[in-house]
Amino acid sequence: MEPLLDLPRPSPACTRCALRPACIAVGTRGVPDCPLDGLAHPYRRLARGERLFTAGDELGSVYLVREGALKTVTLARDGEEQVLAFHLPGEMMGLDAMATGRHRCDAVALGDTEVCELSFPALQARAAQRPILQAQLYRAIGLGANRDQEHVEMLIRRQASDRIALFLHGIAERTRPIGEAATQLTLPMSREDIARFLGLALETVSRGFTRLQDDGVIGVAGRHIDIRAPRELQRLARQA
Amino acid sequence: MEPLLDLPRPSPACTRCALRPACIAVGTRGVPDCPLDGLAHPYRRLARGERLFTAGDELGSVYLVREGALKTVTLARDGEEQVLAFHLPGEMMGLDAMATGRHRCDAVALGDTEVCELSFPALQARAAQRPILQAQLYRAIGLGANRDQEHVEMLIRRQASDRIALFLHGIAERTRPIGEAATQLTLPMSREDIARFLGLALETVSRGFTRLQDDGVIGVAGRHIDIRAPRELQRLARQA
DNA sequence: CGGCGCCTTGACTGGCTTCAAAATGCGTGG
DNA sequence: CCACGCATTTTGAAGCCAGTCAAGGCGCCG
């Protein structure tokens, strides 16, 4: 995976940052020329359940997830949550407001989370002057759209087992430390969140996990997943 | 709905164009200053079933639908089609390749169709120089993302009837001539396409339409739909 | 007028949802 | 450190909805 966006001013805190490679990739390791210099707010920390933004809020910033994870949700009339997306470290979020200028959903931290906040107007202005940054911005937007498309490809499957396999495969791909897909992962979200993401009952998700375990594809210990047969999981996810 | 993008050089052909209002909105009615002057290829016409682009193609152009309609599809391993989106007059398409530079899906004309083709690199370059055009481009991208989100909100519903109501409501909203939602519409796609868009069996879609007709919400005559109780349809689509 | 897609309708089966309860994990406070 | 209480997850049983298979009707185009 190539870097997403340049980091703001490299600092000790950036060492752990998922986006660190980006700084090097663009050759802006030195502070003076960092394309995002001055754009970033201080890192923002959220506790589990805290909201980063809410539907109706004006689009002021975009966010890069540094640590933890978030979900974006819409609230149906009856109060039920629909989970639109999960946002993992290194991913950009907040661009759902691009068309109207206002967010269409709520962003909720799934655990203790840290994000890098960038002023969107400033980012746009800077991008207009720097073609490389502009290209990276288009690319970040495109990656978000691709994740949405993958979500659709899960939901369009009619078998619950297919959706679950696709989900796990996708999370493993996105969680990979570098290069390979992860084989050990700790899901940041609950079974209920997964269910509301996949359009299933939470019991169905639980049973699906158990089934994959019985088939020897994965090991399940609560939210800790051990992918024992990556090829088989990929096969389940690809074909169907 | 505000205009999406400026038209290329106003011409007699543009009179019927769904995007016509845009030229006026931006105050570029006169030919000399039209922001898209020189970017557009000649209008491209497609017959039913013809492909505008195919998965793997390089992103060279974006397209504005002028007449007719298209679907974007992915082909599963077993040859089954998944319908990712429908593209109606006035809508932009082709931006699914923004992240990788290559299209992720095929675009197929649903009937006789005409599109306006814009060179994407040229559009980007022009947008970088004209803030208004840039803003419109961001907005067009955002609108596409919003439609994807609406698709997810359909698919995440577990009741077939909910998905169908949402689908019809959404098409009516997008088909509106101006201001109000349309109450009479002729669907450009088959029941099978709808089924593959909603993740249902085509028989289930057919039964859903019949059910809505029996309930007095719509009138069905093949692909011609008469929305008899718009409020009720909206209620079904909103709550659920 | 005939053929061929497309759409509708019917009957049956299977998988998912729902309701219910038990088990596990986890944070808190004693 | 342990005990408690709550949230989360798993498991079980029953009913219903949607998928599948099959047949019939409609409209369109040659």
**Residue B153 structure tokens:** 């909100």
Pairing of strands A224-227, A218-221: antiparallel
Higher per-residue pLDDT: B78 or A120: A120
Say if the Cβ atoms of A145 and B144 lie within 8 Å. Answer: yes
Task: Report whether B112 contacts B62 (CB < 8 A).
Answer: no
The reported pLDDT for the residue numbered B182 is 81
Residue carrying structure tokens 């998905």: B163
Residue B40 has pLDDT above 80, yes or no: no
The reported pLDDT for the residue numbered A108 is 97
Residue-wise pLDDT for A179-196, tens only, equals 567 889 999 999 999 999
Confidence of residue B170 (pLDDT cuts 50, 70, 90): very high
- d(CA B222, CA B236) in angstroms, rounded, equals 22
Contacts (Cβ under 8 Å, ≥6 apart) of B39 = B8, B118, B119, B122, B123, B126
What dihedral angle (degrees, nearest 10) is formed by the CA atoms of B153, B154, B160, B161? Answer: 100
Say if the Cβ atoms of A138 and B124 lie within 8 Å. Answer: yes
> CA A216, A222, A226, A230 torsion: positive or negative?
positive
- d(CA B230, CA A137) in angstroms, rounded, equals 40
B-chain residues near A142 (CB < 8 A): 95-100
Residue-wise pLDDT for B118-165, tens only, equals 889 988 888 888 888 888 889 889 999 999 999 999 999 999 999 999
Provide the 8-state DSSP code for B72. E
Say if the Cβ atoms of B152 and A156 lie within 8 Å. Answer: no
The reported pLDDT for the residue numbered B238 is 86
The reported pLDDT for the residue numbered A18 is 42
A-chain residues near B155 (CB < 8 A): 152, 155-156, 199
**Could you give the 3-state DSSP secondary structure of residue A37?**
coil
The reported pLDDT for the residue numbered B17 is 44
Residue carrying structure tokens 């970088």: B128
The reported pLDDT for the residue numbered B41 is 67
Residue carrying structure tokens 């107007």: A121
Between vectors from CA A206 to CA A201 and to CA A207, what angle results, nearest 5°?
Answer: 95
The reported pLDDT for the residue numbered B35 is 55
The reported pLDDT for the residue numbered A132 is 79
Residue B22 has pLDDT above 60, yes or no: no
Of chain B residues 142-201, which have a beta carbon within 7 Å of strand D?
158-161, 199-201
Q: In what order do the strands lie in the sheet with A224-227?
A: A184-186, A224-227, A218-221
Strands (E), chain A: 44-46, 51-53, 61-67, 70-75, 81-87, 92-93, 106-109, 113-119, 184-186, 218-221, 224-227
Confidence of residue B15 (pLDDT cuts 50, 70, 90): very low
The reported pLDDT for the residue numbered A238 is 86
pLDDT in tens, chain A (240 residues): 444 554 444 444 444 444 444 433 333 333 334 556 556 666 799 999 999 999 999 999 999 888 899 999 999 877 789 999 999 988 899 999 999 999 999 999 999 998 888 889 988 888 888 887 888 889 889 999 999 999 999 999 999 999 999 999 999 999 876 656 788 999 999 999 999 999 999 999 999 999 999 999 999 999 999 999 999 999 999 876
Interface probe with B: pick from A103, A120, A138, most Cβ of B within 10 Å: A138
**Of B65-69, B207-211, B232-236, which gets the smallest average pLDDT?**
B65-69
Residue B2 has pLDDT above 70, yes or no: no
